[in-house]
């Protein structure tokens, strides 16, 4: 979930209207300093999607596929990796889908796509983004075997697999954000396998984001991903291993004008347990906090704000913006008290829509690794 600069999309408030303009909308209104004015102005094309419903039953593997009647959707992989020398890497591969209008014809199905790939090492950041319109054939989600793709950035299930795992992710031409030379571009091929179940968040996959107004999504994760593969950069190959986290979420009512931003965390504890936590920052009312605690065997428990404390501790300036890069997370009924710390300060994805996404170090009553996404700052 995400972002106002870029709510993991979230900020639908930012992303969605710009995607409409970039990928086929007929408005000539420019995207100015206030993206909200584009989304909520009378000139914004009205694209209504199916609302999320607590009666919707998530069924896998069928719901790995796209939900084109919903306004926005994403398939999101993050991974905490290390190479043969023990050096850490933070990896992100994301495909976003937007319903920009109703289908016109076979060549314009009213869907637009954006993909992001990001890789951080201790001293480097590789990042690239791509855009495509649906109906042309170079972006989308297909089945048998299940495949998510935009051009040659692909996530494809192993042959004969109707589900999303085991699978392989490939991405090429990921630019070094500091050295603009093609020889410094990164290429990755990562194989993904799982050793635990999928997890439904909220009420059997119906994830509330705000009570007033009622905002929600359909949301599930696979937090038990084992990753192996290779990084190719500057003529060298580096084997990578680690653990990943997959999110799939879709909605037509994720944000509105009361939403200021979003903070999201995925956590792998060293004892095998997992935690997902998020805070929706709401204007003029109490922030909405929710999450899931996942036992090592995959049994999950939904967490409300009475059970989950998620509190920023300090702010750091990154590219002229202040971000809370140190947090306290507490689960009193689990005797868990954690310090969440970005493993390096500058983990900003500075594409067309800037947002913070990167690796966490976990300390306190438990240790571990994780990922953090901060939007709207």
pLDDT in tens, 303-362: 999 999 999 999 999 999 999 999 999 998 999 999 999 999 999 998 888 899 999 999
CB–CB of 144/52 below 8 Å?
no
CATH topology classification for 12-375? AttH-like fold (2.40.370)
> From the CB of residue 53, how many other CB atoms can be counted at a distance below 10 Å?
10
CA proximity to 142, closest of 97, 108, 205, 198:
97
Lowest mean pLDDT among 3-12, 116-125, 140-149, 351-360: 3-12
Adjacent-strand bridge partners of 88: 82
Instruction: Please write the tens of the pLDDT for every residue from 70-101.
Output: 999 999 999 999 999 999 999 999 999 999 87
CA proximity to 275, closest of 301, 258, 293, 249:
293
The pLDDT of residue 195 is 96
The pLDDT of residue 110 is 82
Tell me the pLDDT of the chain averaged across its residues: 86
Please tell me the pTM assigned to this model. 0.88
**Cα 189 from Cα 171, distance rounded (Å):** 7
Phi, psi of 334, rounded to the nearest 5 degrees: -110, 0
CB–CB of 374/354 below 8 Å?
no
**Bigger pLDDT: 304 or 176?**
304
Domain boundaries, the chain: 12-375
CA proximity to 150, closest of 72, 192, 96:
96
What torsion do the CA atoms of 161, 109, 252, 196 make, to the nearest 10 degrees?
10
Work out the pLDDT band at 1, boundaries 50, 70, 90.
Answer: low
The pLDDT of residue 325 is 97
Q: What DSSP character marks residue 105?
A: B
């Amino acid at each position: 979930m995400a972002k106002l600069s870029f709510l993991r999309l979230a900020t639908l408030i930012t992303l969605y209207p710009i995607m409409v303009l970039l990928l086929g909308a007929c408005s000539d209104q420019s995207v100015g300093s206030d993206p909200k004015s584009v989304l909520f102005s009378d000139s914004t094309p009205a694209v209504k999607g199916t609302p999320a419903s607590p009666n919707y039953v998530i069924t896998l593997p069928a719901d790995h596929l796209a939900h084109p009647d919903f306004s926005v959707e994403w398939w999101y992989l993050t991974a905490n990796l290390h190479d043969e020398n023990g050096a850490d890497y933070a990896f992100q591969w994301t495909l976003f889908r937007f319903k920009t209008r109703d289908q016109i014809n076979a060549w314009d199905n009213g869907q637009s796509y954006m993909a992001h790939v990001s890789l951080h090492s201790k001293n480097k950041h590789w990042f690239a983004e791509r855009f495509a319109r649906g109906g042309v054939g170079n972006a989308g989600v297909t089945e048998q075997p299940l495949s998510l793709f935009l051009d040659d950035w692909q996530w494809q299930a192993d042959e004969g697999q109707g589900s999303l795992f085991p699978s392989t992710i490939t991405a090429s031409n990921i630019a070094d954000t500091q050295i603009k030379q093609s020889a410094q571009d990164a290429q990755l091929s990562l194989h993904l396998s799982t050793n635990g179940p999928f997890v439904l968040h909220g009420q059997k996959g119906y994830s509330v984001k705000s009570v007033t107004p009622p905002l929600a999504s359909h949301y599930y994760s696979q937090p038990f991903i084992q990753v192996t593969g290779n990084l190719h950069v500057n003529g060298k190959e580096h084997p990578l291993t680690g653990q990943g986290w997959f999110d799939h979420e879709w909605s037509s009512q994720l944000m509105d004008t009361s939403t200021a931003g979003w903070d999201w965390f995925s956590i792998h504890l060293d004892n095998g347990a997992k935690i997902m936590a998020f805070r929706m920052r709401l204007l003029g009312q109490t922030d909405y906090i929710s999450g899931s605690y996942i036992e090592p065997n995959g049994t999950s428990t939904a967490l409300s704000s009475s059970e989950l404390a998620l509190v920023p501790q300090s702010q750091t300036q990154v590219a002229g913006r202040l971000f809370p890069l140190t947090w306290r997370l507490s689960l009193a009924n689990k005797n868990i008290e954690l310090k969440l710390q970005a493993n390096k300060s500058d983990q900003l994805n500075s594409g067309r829509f800037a947002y913070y996404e990167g690796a966490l170090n976990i300390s306190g009553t438990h240790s571990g690794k994780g990922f953090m996404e901060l939007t709207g700052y």
